[in-house]
Amino acid sequence: MPRPSQFVHSRRAALARILPHPATRSLWNVPSWTLLCSVLVLGMLGLGCVGTVPRPTAPTSPVRTVTDGSGRQLTVPARPQRIASQTLATDEILLALVAPERLVALSNLADDARYSYCAEPAKLVAGRCGANAEAILQLQPDLILVASYSRAELVELLSASGAPVYRFTRFGGVADIKSNILALGDVVGEPTAAAELVAELERRFAILAERARQRGQHPRLMSFGVSHFTAGTETSFDDLVRAIGGINVAAEQGVVGFRQISPEQLTRWKPDFIVVSAESGKEDLVRQRLLEDPAVIAAVGRDANRIIVVESRAFTTVSQHLADAAEHLESRIFASVGMPPRN
């Protein structure tokens, strides 16, 4: 999209071809009809001269004011038709709410099946949002979706352009995910579809809860990787564990959010299973690296079955696909101890 300064410059260039350069003002003694033509051209260029001929205005679309997750108010079309999504979470939700034709761009991660649950439908959308504000604005979006973890400089540049930039700020678990789905459904003009998506998420979690009740078993699980970070309350991992009837050891020990823990803490807390994520094809490598960690050996021994490796996207999704992640974790946990989940 051209900058305002570029637009003004192009108009000035057009005038320069019609009117004399200041260095040749002695030539301004020209017939009156020439001056009249110049005035008419100025009017057509819309430079605010007296006698400007009004240009026909295009019909305007309905707009409304909404408040994003950061509390910022912005004006958006009642039903945006050129939506640009800069985050994977909004990619996954949008593709379940609106037709691909209304999307001008998705995030760069949308096509990466290691982290994305929407790699296939994402193929129907041509554009991709990187970290270049100018490239995003060239798509002429009427709504741009970002998150609190998006680069601050990028968000500032996009907002400064005057484009409607809607920011999501909370991703602490299933409650935040449901809230984000409803908010996104509202801002894109699809509240009914959003409510249905939330209802389906709740239905699948209810089925998981019933299977957990029937099993009556509560394995003690803990997320842990080579960087020694774990996830406590107010995380999607905590919701995943509770959804399948498990106990999140880190939450039990008072961890809130994500925290790096010491080898001594892992040894002392002694989970039944350690849960770690890995990219497809690297599961055995990740499991082996953990089994070489003295703290892991002290906590769960050398039993490879007590290292539960899940696909990376199950740990990263903060959309309705959290239900897929919970079902995936359930199958890995109970298959590992000979207790497949019931249908």
| CATH code, domain carrying 163 | 3.40.50.1980
**Are 28 and 80 in a shared domain?**
no
The answer to whether residues 118 and 91 touch, using CB atoms and an 8 Å cutoff, is: yes
Does 60 reside within a domain?
Answer: no
Does 178 reside within a domain?
Answer: no
**Are 74 and 161 in a shared domain?**
yes
Does 57 reside within a domain?
Answer: no
Cα separation of 151 and 309, whole Å? 31
Cα separation of 249 and 269, whole Å? 7
**Are 219 and 323 in a shared domain?**
yes
- pLDDT for 131 equals 86
**Are 134 and 249 in a shared domain?**
no
pLDDT tens digit sequence for 291-315:
999 999 999 999 999 999 999 999 9
Which range marks the domain in which residue 282 is found? Answer: 203-336
**Are 211 and 306 in a shared domain?**
yes
- pLDDT for 336 equals 60
**Are 213 and 326 in a shared domain?**
yes
- pLDDT for 226 equals 87
- pLDDT for 108 equals 95
**Are 99 and 141 in a shared domain?**
yes
Strand partners of residue 189 = none
Q: How many CA atoms lie within 13 A of 137 on its CB side?
A: 18
Q: Which residues of the chain have pLDDT under 50?
A: 1-56, 58, 338-343
**Are 325 and 213 in a shared domain?**
yes
**Are 232 and 270 in a shared domain?**
yes
**Are 223 and 330 in a shared domain?**
yes
pLDDT tens digit sequence for 108-154:
999 999 999 999 999 999 999 988 999 999 999 999 999 999 999 99
| Burial bucket for residue 31 (CB in 10 Å: 0-12, 13-18, 19+) | exposed
**Overall domain count for the chain:** 3
The answer to whether residues 166 and 186 touch, using CB atoms and an 8 Å cutoff, is: no
| Burial bucket for residue 19 (CB in 10 Å: 0-12, 13-18, 19+) | middle
